[in-house]
Amino acid sequence: MNRFLSHDKTKADLTNYLAAKILEYNSTSHKLVITSSLGHTTSNENLLFQDNNDKEADTLLIYQAVLASQ
């Protein structure tokens, strides 16, 4: 198991797989679910940061929090 998880590509593939499955499982959920893997951030709702990179998504998360607090 240590050798399996020691490869960066294996970890990236596993992270991407889990992110996709989490979004698939929560596709009809009323909760907002946001995942980030392989440099792309996605969610189960249509938000501004669909398919943005991590840095852009970080900024937009703050913007979404401000909108939600109003």
The length of the chain is: 70
Nearest to 49 by CA among 27, 70, 32, 29: 32
Q: Is 0.85 topped by the overall pTM?
A: no
In the chain, where the domains are located: 2-69
Nearest to 43 by CA among 57, 33, 52, 55: 33
Instruction: Label each residue of 2-68 as H, E or C.
Output: HHHHCCHHHHHHHHHHHHHHHHHHCCCCCCCCEEEECCEEEECCCCCCCCECHHHHHHHHHHHHHHH
In the predicted model, what is the mean pLDDT of the chain? 79
Q: What is the pLDDT of residues 16-39, one digit of tens each?
A: 999 999 999 999 988 888 887 777
